[in-house]
Structure 1
Amino acid sequence: MRLCFLVEEHYRHDGMPNEVVRQLTAWGHQVDVVRPGGSLLRMDGLVRAGAHDAWVLKTVSGGPGLTLLEAAAAAGTTTVNDARSIRGVRDKALAAALGSARGLPLPPTYALARPELLAGVPDSAYPLVVKPADGSSGRGVHLVSSPDRLAALLPELAGEGMLIAQPYVPNSGTDLKVYCVGGELYATERRSPLHPDSPVRERRVPLPAEVARIAARVGEVYGLDLYGVDVLLGPDGPVVVDVNDFPSFRQVPDAAARVARAVLDLARSGGEHPAAAPLPPARPHARPVPVPAQAAAGAGDGA
């Protein structure tokens, strides 16, 4: 098969996706790597129907890669993940609206175009987590303890563009990161970016059944095949605080080979999975019920 990987400069030397590219090449597939942030691109020559079996995106949220992926999708090429789905989850304000409307356990979310509008958030919502709507990798995440702490933060938020604000979910200082690859779920525990002094080291952990059901539902709601979900175990149960397309898959066993096989399966099926068995009880990893990526994406045109 011939595949095109869009890889941002930020990930130029990262194991993911470079190890996946090496694995696919070792299996005899042709992989073209395009770096959209550092190349002069002639669009009419780059995106041609039938030139590749699938395009794969691994870029930062604000980079130009998604535009190229959408161009490939418009030309009829299979994309991993679905281009409309990626657009949805990379806009955290849109992701919050879509997820809440479809029953995912998300915190109340305020969206604002200018940081001074945070003054309108009710005092009862504090402590407040504020972050860019297009942020990634923990960039620009702030915990505001009370309204009187807001003024000092405004200059730092200037220039971030659209912001979202959510009430802080009390937790132990750790995030549960659930990865979905090849229809399977893997859970890791890691230090929360809001609690940098937490002694927790990143490690694989058993996946609770309730969290497994939520993580599988995330793929259905947003139309994603390869993704990660950040979950906090709050006092009222699990809460989804972020969704990432094509994450790092750290701590997933044989991650490069698993992701490479998933990319090939999606390329061969045009982005759709065959039906699988229902979600079993909690185990270290669980196999969710896949939903055709394009069908799920069509329900919400994104995320």
Structure 2
Amino acid sequence: MRLCFLVEEHYRDDGMPLDVVGRLRSWGHSVDVLLPGSSLIAMPELIRAGTHDAWVLKTVSGGPGLSMLESAAAVGLPTINDARSIRPVRDKAVAATVARSRGIPVPPTYFAATPALLARVPDEHYPLVVKPCDGSSGRSVHLVSSPGQLADTGALLRGEGYLLAQPYIPNSGADLKVYSITGELHATVRRSPLHPGRPVLEREVPLTTELARLTAKVGEVFGLDLFGVDIVEGPEGPMVVDINDFPSFRQVPDAVDRVARAVLRLAGSAGDRAPMDPERTLVG
């Protein structure tokens, strides 16, 4: 097969996905790697039928790679994940709204166009978790204990774009991250970005039936094949606090081989997927 990986600058030295690229090449497949943030791209010449069996994106939120992936999908080229599925999870406000509307448990969520608007969040929701709508990799996630701390946090968040605020869910300092590789699920424990100083043994852990069903529902609702779900188990049960397309798959045994094989399976079956309609909204 011939594949094209769109790898944004943030991930240009990361094992995921570059180790996957190396594994696919070692198996005899042709893999092109394109850095959309540092390449001048002749779009009609590059993105046309027959150039690649599938396109794969490892992106940061708001990066240029998603536009390229959507361009490929718009002219009928197979993409992994489905290009229609990525933008809704990359905008955390959209992801929270879609998830709640489909019965996926997420914390109450407030959207603020500027840090100053966060002052209107009712006091009973404190402590608050505040983060950018387009954040990734735990970037700029802040725990605000009281309204009095909001001004300092707002100063740190200037320039981060639109913001989300959610009530903090008490936890031990560890998050549960469940990864899905085309339906094969792996649960891992990860250090919470809200408690970076707490010692956490990051490892794979057994997956309960409840969390397996919850993760499978996330994949079904958003139409994702390779994804991760951040889950916090609070007093009212598990809550989904983040969804990531093509995550790190950290602590997953043989992750590189598993993801490489999944890419090949998805590329091989991509012809069965309905082509992207440029006039169709990405959510709905």
When normalised by structure 2's length, the TM-score is 0.95
Letter in 2 for 1:106: V
2:8 and 2:131 mapped to 1: Cα distance? Answer: 22
Indicate the residue corresponding to 1:301 in structure 2: 282
Structure 2 match to 1:110: 110
Partner of 1:127: 127
Q: CA RMSD in A?
A: 1.9
| Residue type at the aligned position of 1:51 | T
Partner Cα separation in structure 1 for residue 22 and residue 7 of structure 2? 14
Equivalent positions of 1:88-237 (< 5 A) are 88-237=88-237
Shift of 1:301: 3.0
Q: What residue number does 1:48 align with?
A: 48
Residues 91-114 of structure 1: per-residue CA shift (max 9 Å, x gap) = 000000000000001001111111
| Unaligned residue ranges in structure 1 (runs of 5+) | 273-291
Q: Distance in 2 between matches of 1:214 and 1:182?
A: 15
Aligned to 1:275: none
SS at match of 1:179: strand
Give the gaps of 5 or more residues in structure 2.
none
CA distance in 2, matches of 1:223, 1:245: 10
Q: Please state how far the C-alpha of 1:209 moved relative to its aligned partner.
A: 1.3
Cα distance change of structure 1 residues 114 and 139 upon mapping to structure 2, 3 Å threshold: same
Give deviations 1:161-186, integer Å, cap 9, x for gaps. 11111000111111000000132100
What letter corresponds to residue 88 of structure 1 in structure 2?
P
For 2:168 and 2:274, the matched residues in 1 are separated by 31
With the length of structure 1 as denominator, give the TM-score of the two structures: 0.89
Offset at residue 300 of structure 1 (A)? 8.0
DSSP-derived class of the 1:36 partner: coil
1:158 Cα deviation after fit: 1.3
Matched-pair identity in %: 68
- 8 Å contact kept, 1:86–1:302: no
**Alpha-carbon distance in structure 1 between the residues aligned to 2:237 and 2:65:** 36
What is the number of equivalent residue pairs in this alignment? 282
Q: What residue number does 1:84 align with?
A: 84
SS at match of 2:37: helix
Contact 1:11 1:58 in 2 (8 A): yes
Specify whether residues 300 and 47 from structure 1 end up closer, same or farther in structure 2 by C-alpha distance, changes over 3 A only: closer
